Chains A and B, each alone.
Chain A
Amino acid sequence: MISTFANPARFMAFSAWATPLFGALAAVLFAIGVPWGYALSPADYQQGETVRIMYVHVPAAWMSLIVYATMGGASFVSLVWRHALADVAARAAAPIGATFAAICLITGSIWGAPTWGTWWEWDGRLTSMLVLFLIYLGYIALWAAVDDEEKAGRFAAILCLVGLINLPIIKFSVDWWSTLHQRSIFQGSSMSVDPSMVGPLMTMFAAYAALFATLLLVNMRAAIHRRRVEAQRLRSAA
């Protein structure tokens, strides 16, 4: 699978039809998920209407972790097998993951004000999530700071792999430390939210995931086009 798509020509052929497909899927899922979560789903017996923030906050949190884990996998492939597209994939995913992390932090803060009585608390979950956002920014800055793309890719891959240590810290922070943040929605094989909330939550999660797939493919195609243009420019100048 990896070696099949490591070929840029094969990737371009695949992404030419997959990108609009994922884009259309994302649009449909958002069109269903947003009104479902914002207006049609029931209010919570304890939190009331503020529970609706969950449908934009929780998928953003999940996706920021999933995107980072994807970047970790791509970085590992890049360092070990030097696949041509691994660096491109990791770099293309970073701004999308950073946006998900920013959405998670800001909407979490907005949710915290009416439920906890504070916009921010330096506890394990919130702080480790902020660290993830800063790692995303550092990763993006590292790519921008090093001119040689091969070197930049290697440095960024190492930073990404080191940053992976933060993912289990985020996941288990609510179990390890006393925190204002609620425990994980997943309790073994069951979910701790009311069944009536699972539908809009999973629809919004699928919408975020489909949007990620779309934007990742668009970003990767742009990077391949840019490299082709720059290579052609260099050949013309020589």
Chain B
Amino acid sequence: MITGDVSAFVNAAYAVALGFLAALAVVVIGRGVHWAKRAKELERKP
């Protein structure tokens, strides 16, 4: 039986999960954009 206020646990779990996923997406997409730009620059060079 659960007693007391558990909202802090629920909020913390959602903050961790969504925060980690957002950070992962930012890092991966940032890296993808970086290398796509570099490859395009090379293609443009004669």
Contacts and interface: CB of A to CB of B under 8 A. Distances in A.
Interface in A191-238: 208, 211, 215, 218-219, 221-223, 225-226, 228-229, 232
Question: Chain A interface: which size bin?
Answer: 35 or more
Question: Chain B interface: which size bin?
Answer: 20 to 34
Nearest to B17: A56
A222 B14 contact: no
Contacts of A225: 32, 35-36, 38-39
B10 A222 contact: no
Interface string A78-99: 0000000000000000011001
A211 B4 CA distance: 35
Contacts of A53: 9-10, 13-14
Contacts of A47: 2
Interface of A: 34, 38, 46-50, 52-53, 56-57, 60, 95-96, 99, 102-103, 106-107, 110-111, 113-115, 208, 211, 215, 218-219, 221-223, 225-226, 228-229, 232
Given A53-B9, A107-B13, A111-B9, 15 more contacts: A38-B14, A47-B2, A50-B10, A53-B10, A53-B13, A56-B14, A56-B18, A95-B24, A107-B17, A110-B13, A110-B16, A114-B6, A225-B36, A226-B38, A229-B38
Interface of B: 1-2, 4, 6-7, 9-10, 12-14, 16-18, 20-21, 24-25, 28-29, 31-32, 34-36, 38-39, 42
